[in-house]
């Protein structure tokens, strides 16, 4: 299941992309427009900022804004930051690889074989979608 965090984060990014201008948008406005708990959204936007997707400005007239053009924001990177690994098991993860404790030989593992395909198909989707694609 997609976490609420990721869902809300994506919606917030999409909202910022539709607003268009690089003018800061307040958390409260995003939260209200997308029906998200403001405090929860706050922490999500913070991680998006810390990971280079958003800029922010404090005080009156402040808020969050996209740093890059929506067409340059790939879903692979957004998903990795918000949701974590794209792979469903660590042993097929490109960026978060870990060996399974219980599995003596990955080459022989049926789960490995299946999840490799799932990872590749998901990757293809995320690589083919930028933020711009989602709002058009």
The reply to whether 39 sits near DNA by the rule CB under 7 A is yes
- What does the DSSP assignment read for 84-107? --SSSSGGG-SSS----SS-S-GG
To DNA, the closest distance from the beta carbon of 15 in angstroms equals 13
| Interacting residue with a second copy among 5, 14, 46, 74 (CB under 8 A) | 14
User: From residue 64 to residue 93, what is the string marking binding to a second copy with x (rule CB under 8 A)?
Assistant: -----------x--------xx--xx----
* Cβ contact 56:41 at 8 Å: no
For 51, the 3-state DSSP assignment is coil
CA distance 31 to 56: 16
Name the binder of 44 from DNA, a second copy, none, CB < 5-8 A by kind.
Answer: none
| Residue 105 Cα distances to 18, 112, 120, angstroms | 48, 10, 20
3-class SS shares of the chain: helix, strand, coil, % to 5: 55, 10, 35
Residue 5 or residue 74: which is nearer to DNA going by CB? 5
The reply to whether 46 sits near DNA by the rule CB under 7 A is yes
Name the binder of 99 from DNA, a second copy, none, CB < 5-8 A by kind.
Answer: none
To a second copy, the closest distance from the beta carbon of 58 in angstroms equals 27
């Amino acid at each position: 299941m997609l976490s609420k965090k990721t869902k809300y984060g994506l919606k917030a990014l999409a909202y910022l992309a539709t607003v268009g201008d690089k003018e800061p948008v307040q958390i409260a406005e995003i939260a209200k427009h997308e029906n998200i708990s403001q405090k929860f959204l706050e922490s999500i936007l913070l991680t998006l900022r810390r990971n280079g997707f958003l800029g922010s400005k404090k005080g009156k007239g402040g808020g969050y804004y996209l740093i890059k053009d929506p067409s340059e924001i790939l879903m692979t990177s957004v998903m990795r930051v918000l949701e974590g690994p794209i792979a469903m098991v660590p042993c097929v993860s490109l960026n978060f690889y870990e060996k399974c404790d219980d599995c003596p030989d990955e080459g022989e593992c049926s789960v490995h074989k299946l999840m490799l395909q799932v990872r590749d198909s998901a990757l293809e989707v995320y690589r083919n979608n930028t933020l711009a694609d989602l709002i058009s």
